[in-house]
Amino acid sequence: MKMTRSRRIDIPNPELLRECLGQESDPMVRLRLLVLKLLAELPRSLTLKQICAMVDVPESTVYVWVRAWRERGYPGVCHPTETGGEPGRPPSLDDSDLVVLEALLEERPLCETREVRALIREHFGVELSESQVARILRAKLGMHFGKPYPRDSRRPKDAEAQLEERLITAYERLRAQGLSDEEIAIGFLDEASRRVTANTARVWHFGRGGIIKNTTRVKANTIGFYALVGESVQDFLPRSTQRPIAESLAAIRAANPGYRAILVILDNFSSHHAGEVAQAAQDNAIELVFLPPYTPDLNPIELIWKTIKRVISASFIRSLDDLRDQIYRTWQGAAPRCSYAK
């Protein structure tokens, strides 16, 4: 097979380029600097065309950025069409158009790319491709493209305030008993049932992108305590009834012996209100703080479950032991990160 080498594009002052990238906050300028950095460190296996496809930028535009960096350095990258000679083609939407577009989109915050494309055509008389629209939304307006997080219509409008008030009350009750904040662990508890047939991960592929799955009905009932202060705990339950959950509270206490009290934030699942669970909480110096109803979005452990589900969906799981091992390893990598609760 004949091998094709990627053409090396000379990018001067790569050290300055990296320094500028580290200090830049403007998303559009960061994109230009990032592309130039990739070109400066271009591996033989990666072509300019592939880099342009990765960031969804035409090759001709990248050459303009390269020339701007060579001729004027950082100021050139900030304003690549201001070369001192003939100006480049003006943008399809100028700054005032972008202000209007942002206001229109704030009135309808969930839009598909094709809908925004039609909106631009209707209000500005400009015909853009969907890739151009996506670049404008991402680089110019700082929007994100992804699945929206669903919220129950029955969710209280003041859910965050309710949770905050419950936490303040719990802390004040513990402080009244002589405990300092440093002696109180805090975290979120939840259960999930993970199955081998999960299929939520988005992956790059050629063709139709099929994946071989084990369709045997294998599932693992999992419980987790995601600690913000203290040690996280993960285990598997035979069922989500009050006795296994009560035993899980004892396991949380055993993992956090250095704290005089533990605040456990959890949802209103019926077993969480059961007598054995309440007794186990009392026996282990655990304060149960219940979330307002219909607010799974206030429990960041849900994001860890989603991470585990994505990993499972892109894996071939052979057995229950294999499934449990995958859940355990993913939990161990995710639970130490407080970013889920940010």
Q: Determine how β-strand 286-290 pairs with β-strand 261-266.
A: parallel
At 206, which amino acid appears? F
pLDDT, tens digit, for every residue of 86-129?
444 567 888 888 999 999 998 887 889 999 999 999 998 888 88
Band the pLDDT of 336: cuts 50, 70, 90: very high
Say what percent of the chain tops pLDDT 90: 44
Q: Judge whether 265 and 299 are in contact, CB under 8 Å.
A: yes
CB atoms within 10 A of CB 311: 19
207 by DSSP, 3-state: which? Answer: coil
Band the pLDDT of 6: cuts 50, 70, 90: very low
Q: In the 8-state DSSP scheme, what is residue 177?
A: T
CB atoms within 10 A of CB 28: 16
Q: In the 8-state DSSP scheme, what is residue 154?
A: T
Q: How many CA atoms lie within 13 A of 295 on its CB side?
A: 19
At 48, which amino acid appears? L
The average pLDDT across 228-234 equals 96
pLDDT score, position 208: 64
Could you tell me which residue, 173 or 29, shows the higher pLDDT?
173
Largest CA distance in the chain: 79
CA 227/CA 317 separation, integer angstroms: 28
CA 28/CA 50 separation, integer angstroms: 19
The mean pLDDT value of the chain amounts to 86
Is the Cα torsion angle 131, 132, 134, 135 positive or negative in sign? positive
pLDDT, tens digit, for every residue of 184-207?
999 999 999 877 666 665 666 566
The structure tokens listed for 331 are: 């939990």
pLDDT score, position 203: 61
CA 61/CA 133 separation, integer angstroms: 16
Q: Which of 304, 131, 108, 123 is nearest to 222 (CA)?
A: 304
Q: Judge whether 245 and 272 are in contact, CB under 8 Å.
A: yes
